[in-house]
Amino acid sequence: MANNFSTSIRQAINEVNQYAVDKKHIVGSVVIVAKEGEIIYQQASGHADQEHKKTMRVDSQFLLSSVTKPIVSAAILCLVEKGILNLNSPVTDYLPNFTPKLENGQQPVITLHHLLTHSAGLKYRFYEPNGEGIYNTLQISDGFDEIAIDLNENLDRLSKAPLLFSPGTNWCYSLALDVLGGVLMAVTQQSLEEIIKTTITKPLNMTNTGFTLSDNNQLVTHYYDALPTPLPMPSPYFMHLDESWNSGIISYDPKRIFNPKAYHSGGAGMVGNAPDFMRFLLSLTSSKNVLSPNKLIDKMAKCYISSEHSTQGPGWGFGYGGAVLDNPIKAQTPQGKGTIQWGGVYGHNWFYDPQQALAVVIFTNTAIEGMSGLYPVKVRDAIYHCF
């Protein structure tokens, strides 16, 4: 039965991959599927660089953007379990100078829980319509753009921008994980790269995941959606979004990873590959893991933010590190209730469905089709069709 299931999954996903590459919806991808902790599908498709006919490999390196967030969130939880951090503590206990205020001048309490759940009242610069607003005026870095400043400077700029709402009263996807990166650095007196290595990547043998990359040849070429075929992303690249994204502008810089002056972003700054991330994802779902005595996914996939906020569309709330599925019918998805899912704007998508003990990692080099286009939806549906 298991072999038949694996064969069906392989055939179904391969068809989706072939179609997506042939139709030039994506340039290349790596898809890994695990069921009950065991990998049942792992395949690379298309090109890592189509101009140079460089074939995509399973171990190809990608800029992770927001795939960084669950990794940093897990590090926070590990330090909480050790008694080093407290989720209910004000962020000022760790970063005394991070004191953003409301529009009325009040300085509310922002806790680590507010930051983990994106309910602190912060936002991203790319949410400002047409690149116009206080985040753009202050030149606040989103963590994956060409702005080359240190973290303290970016947090100082962020602190000067008024909060959108009183912490805990609403939800907005934000730079909160960059603030938490600063918290990790403050309490450990280590660089963010070192604390993530010590806490997460080294224990899990994620040897290809980190905040730096010395060799440009290891990295896939990143592309942006275009017709008739995706085009290589220059550095910098400004993606103008439609009204569904608030007509904002995403500022990319694929070369940022090589810039020693650009701070290491807790929300978008890592580089890595799909096998490493699957190893991380499976560690969260296991009660026998080297990161924690507890099953970390139970804390991360709790629906702290109501699905009324539609964090990833109708039916989705938010946990720690990703959106949490509260109502599959409203979301129109075959995934089970309690599924945690997120992605990254360079073209990635991942989820874990506890009902099926199913983990799926989809890394592409095509933005933003690989994150929120039809491709990850078709891969998802192909998998569930095999059940």
Catalytic positions: 66
What's the distance, CA 119 to chain centroid? 17
Q: How far is the C-alpha of 363 from the C-alpha of 281, rounded, in Å?
A: 14
- Characterize 129-155 residue by residue with b for buried, 16 or more Cβ atoms within 10 angstroms of its Cβ, and e for exposed: eebebebbebebbbbbbbbeeebeebb
Cis peptide leading into 162, omega within 30 of 0? no
| DSSP percent split of the chain into helix, strand, coil, nearest 5 | 35, 20, 45
Q: What angle do CA 33, 35, 37 make, to 5 degrees?
A: 100
Task: Kindly write down the DSSP assignment for every residue of 66-128, as one continuous string.
Answer: GGHHHHHHHHHHHHHHTTS--TTSBGGGT-TT-----TTS-----BHHHHHTT-SS---GGGS
Q: Can you read off the two tokens belonging to residue 376?
A: 């990850």
C-beta separation of 224 from 254 below 8 A? no
End-to-end CA distance of the chain: 11
CB atoms within 10 A of CB 243: 8
C-beta separation of 31 from 41 below 8 A? yes
Pairing of strands 249-252, 54-55: unpaired
